[in-house]
Structure 1
Amino acid sequence: MKINFDKKTELVPAIVQDARTKNVLMLGYMNQEAFDRTIATKKVTFFSRSKQRLWTKGEESGNFLHLEGIKNDCDGDSLLVSVSPEGPTCHKGTDTCWAETNSSQFGFLSTLENVIKSRRENPSEKSYVASLFEKGINKIAQKVGEEAVEVVIEAKDNDEKLFLDESADLLFHYLILLQAKGYTLKDIEQVLINRHK
């Protein structure tokens, strides 16, 4: 890997990202020695600009960043360091240096989960989701079953739009069922992660 360290400081910015959640955890700087130590020990090591020395993240707190992978950008002048964090990353005790929770996000599906939760907690007569929760778990489970059958039927035909529409309906109703049972996509993700090991 060719790294273009800054000619003046001999440093390169190192963006640290959780290998599983893909959340950015922190930004640090590496010189060649810090990079080499990171590769050798599989624990992320930086060059501290304030202390003017190498420091391995976690050397005092025990909150190490275990190296999963490292790559440089198209110009070779910054690094993306993929890690498995052991505890909080920030010295202030938060998951990230931006005080954000380091948890999985599923794009629009996470937004949709929040909408479903809101409709459940703040029901209105006009809300389809609220009406399903009011009818109870049997009705919600029945809807998931109906949508699953419709997906299977459409899978055997060649109408891609209908197949995608029914697939969206199935996923939507499944998200409702998960919340009715007290779960979210993060719980399902964890089951899949455990199976993958």
Structure 2
Amino acid sequence: MKIDFNKNYDGLVPAIIQDVTTKNVLMLGYMNEEAYQKTIDTKLVTFFSRTKNRLWTKGEESGNVLTLVDMKLDCDNDTLLISVHPTGPTCHNGTDTCWAENNAQNFGFLTHLENTIADRIQNSDTEKSYVASLFAKGINKIAQKVGEEAIEVVIEAKDNNNDLFLNESADLLFHYLMLLQAKGFKIHDVVEVLKGREK
């Protein structure tokens, strides 16, 4: 890896720290060549502290270390993207990230959809919300609906109409997310099971 430490007058390059699992950005630090080498050697992310004017291994006092998983160099050879396994909160203020965000797994639109379902369950009128009305009928009705949607996906899979197949697949996924919440779970819990099966 040919990092251009000489591009900046102070010999430092930005190091963006990302959780390897959640893909959330945890913090931004700076490395000089010595900090980079120490990170490689120890597998613990080490920065050059501009305030302390010395090398600083993240967590050297708190124990909240960042264990190195991978490093990537950007197209200009002057910025690092470092994937880590964090131990504890990353920010010195005690938050998961330096932007005071929770370092929770996020599945993009599916997480948004889960949050929408949860909001409809809690805050919507059963006469105005399909989600609220289905939940009001209980888990047996939700499970039955998942079964119906699964059968429709199978039927459409045997046909050649891709639009119908995708629409029925969307219906199945939507109702499955509802069933997960009815059982007290989210997609994250299923992903954890799948990760446990990974070989």
| TM-score, shorter chain, exceeding 0.5 | yes
Measured in 1, the distance between the counterparts of 2:42 and 2:188 equals 31
Aligned to 1:4: 4
Following superposition, the deviation at residue 185 of structure 1 comes to 1.3
Following superposition, the deviation at residue 80 of structure 1 comes to 0.2
Measured in 2, the distance between the counterparts of 1:123 and 1:133 equals 11
**For structure 1, which runs of at least 5 residues remain unmatched after alignment?**
none
Aligned to 2:131: 129
Measured in 1, the distance between the counterparts of 2:40 and 2:189 equals 33
Following superposition, the deviation at residue 106 of structure 1 comes to 1.1
Task: Please tell me whether residue 72 in structure 1 is matched to residue 93 in structure 2.
Answer: no
Partner SS for 2:96: coil
Aligned to 2:90: 89
Aligned 1:1-197 pairs, distance under 5 A: 1-5=1-5, 6-124=7-125, 125-196=127-198
Give the residue type in structure 2 aligned to 1:26. Answer: M
Measured in 2, the distance between the counterparts of 1:196 and 1:93 equals 32
Provide, for residues 145-183 of structure 1, a one-character-per-residue CA deviation record: whole Å limited to 9, x for no partner: 111111111112221111110110000000110111111
Measured in 2, the distance between the counterparts of 1:157 and 1:35 equals 56
Provide, for residues 2-53 of structure 1, a one-character-per-residue CA deviation record: whole Å limited to 9, x for no partner: 1112341000000000001000000000001111111111110000011111
Q: Percent identity?
A: 70
Partner SS for 2:155: helix
Partner SS for 1:21: coil
**Count, aligned residues:** 197
Segments ≥4 residues shifted beyond 3 Å: none
